[in-house]
Structure 1
């Protein structure tokens, strides 16, 4: 472990000469200072980098994490239920990092599940990694596999997932849930999802279905996992449901520069496209999608307009541009807009910069907008 001695109270930090503080990026340096007369001073030990090599060490590090800390995984498999509940901050996020051969595996689930998912009570969710009310984390480099779900974020906004590999999970790969807004998933890879329930094997899941807001609708009754960016990822093959499922009630996200391989999409539970957009105000740009058998494929991108309580203008105001779609001679449209009348106040826009090959019907079923 790398350790740094830091003063425990702000007055002591304020009285410490600037020259005595470590330079940015230094670790292991002792910080000294003298408090003003009459002020209490306490020196506490803060671990900047926690090295872990066993499942027990990882579970303990997650439970004790503090803002600004890095938990670093050694190569190897980590079997267990790994839950993070400690928040980072904007200025000092918490980082969990490791190489690709550091692999998290949850052999659960077990015990009696509560009516709404929450850690504790002797119940193991089966999630490979679960962030619960844990904003401002950075997850980088490692792998999650052989779990019920891959990475699940509940009420955990401002989380960045970068360079993570999720594969061979029973349900979805990465889920931003319970208003886990302003997150980022980038440079990551997701394959082989939906091994147990193909219709629920989404690669990336943004928000929750309105029917599940009773559990996950923690912001005004809705799951507002808004403004999530899904950028530069490789999703598929053998993602059994949608590669990205954008749920109703969410808005303002970005889906950009991803590669979708539709091989193995199941067609179950209406899972027959790369991206299903029920949210509003998303920008979907510069993605590359392909489809080849086996699988069931209807369209590259689809919109839907479910009615929700509270009410939202769902599946409207989204923009497609610069996407390249190869439908393999099977899919009808690159972009299928299911309803224009419901979005008359905020229409979906398909720009002419999108291209399509192998379509049975064409680029889109609505007029194309130049640009």
Structure 2
């Protein structure tokens, strides 16, 4: 009997302790949430945005496995398995579009990504405050111009009929007659890279400039006292200070290898250079124009294909970053 009473008292004390501990943790948790109420309030709109526009629409993934009919809806359309992916891969221009997509994205990653880092370093080295703000502001303003307007601007600038670039080159004697830049297959990729840099480099450099501003100024002062010039300061202080940011941004950019810029390629291309300008996104867009509402399944299948390859590239690049003992995302 005594043993039974001792066991009951032990169980009672254990339950009392557990209840008190749970209540204290809940109270502490509520107090912590209350202290962070403004942070939560600011984060809530962003959370709801991604929830509504990124997570809820994911049920539409099933469209890629259906013969989707907008009148039947997602739940009543016929299931066709992987037929849409087979149709996608059997498209006559798919291989050409895939090659162009990888080539353009790789060129942007190899050439423009390092150029963006160098541009941020150069802006960081400008000592005159007003001039630095002027350069930074003018460099990221084109980002807010849509590609439709940007393409119209560059078509006009490079036009053979009154284009500023052709008029200048002819007047300087570099060209004997106006050159049709936008219709030349060899000039198309350089124009794409240049216009991409003109439009997006300034805005993309902001994150690197922000990382550079977080470096302790005393490091530069100590380096000056040791006789280090500007280049040495950049190499030994600035670059190591933003190394993790460079790695993270490289991983994110590399995971978008199958997204070469639909807006840019759609607006900057024309019939003459369509063979070089056709990418996966524009290929599906042309297919959708021909198929109308019945082409949603192919478009969704393309999105799944791009997302899957992007996920694989993301994991591989993240693993390589970890293997190199650098920062990573996962």
Above 0.5 in TM-score? no
* TM-score for both structures, normalised by structure 1: 0.18
Larger relative helix fraction: 2
Structure number with greater Rg is: 2
Larger relative strand fraction: 1
